[in-house]
């Protein structure tokens, strides 16, 4: 199993950099996930203008563990994962999470990618504060 990248960062996320990180001649499939800030939320009373992400100091280590576990759940256990979660204030349209997974076959690449994002949402100690156009803010729970 390989985790090529697992990062919590304040910098902008690059899908191309994540795809490059999982490049491998044995991989017949590469799947990606790009989680972006949207301008609405079912719980919002108005337009969402930004999300402010905060991470626990152990978040990067936990992200590494999440990625390694996702690889181990794949068919062959030989997928390669690159995953990053951005923190700080992100405007609408900005990438908050990027995942790239390379595997020998598409089924495994899709499965590992899905397991990675589901575990991030469930287990990663990252919190977000939703900012609405009128200045209203709401804290959301654990996960990206």
Residues 14-48 have pLDDT tens digits of 999 999 999 999 999 999 999 999 999 888 888 99
The DSSP secondary-structure symbol of 22 reads: T
- As a whole number of angstroms, the distance between CA 44 and CA 136 comes to 9
Torsion of CA 24, 81, 50, 9, to 10 degrees: -90
For the segment 2-22, the average pLDDT, to the nearest whole number, is 98
Non-local CB neighbours of 58 within 8 Å, separated by 6+ positions: 125
pLDDT bin (cut points 50, 70, 90) of residue 140 is confident
Whether 85 has a pLDDT exceeding 60, the answer reads yes
**Across the chain, what does the average pLDDT equal?**
94
- As a whole number of angstroms, the distance between CA 101 and CA 111 comes to 9
């Amino acid at each position: 199993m390989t985790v090529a990248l697992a990062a919590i960062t304040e910098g902008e996320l690059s899908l191309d950099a994540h795809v490059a990180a999982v490049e491998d001649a044995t991989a017949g499939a590469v799947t990606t996930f790009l989680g972006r800030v949207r301008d609405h939320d079912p719980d919002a009373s108005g337009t969402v203008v930004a999300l402010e992400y905060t991470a626990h100091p152990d978040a990067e280590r936990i992200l590494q563990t999440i990625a390694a576990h996702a690889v181990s759940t794949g068919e062959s256990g030989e997928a390669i994962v690159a995953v990053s979660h951005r923190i700080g204030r992100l405007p609408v349209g900005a990438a908050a999470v990027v995942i790239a997974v390379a595997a020998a076959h598409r089924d495994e690449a899709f499965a590992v990618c899905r397991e990675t994002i589901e575990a991030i949402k469930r287990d990663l100690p990252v919190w977000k504060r939703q900012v609405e156009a009128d200045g209203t803010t709401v804290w959301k729970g654990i996960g990206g």
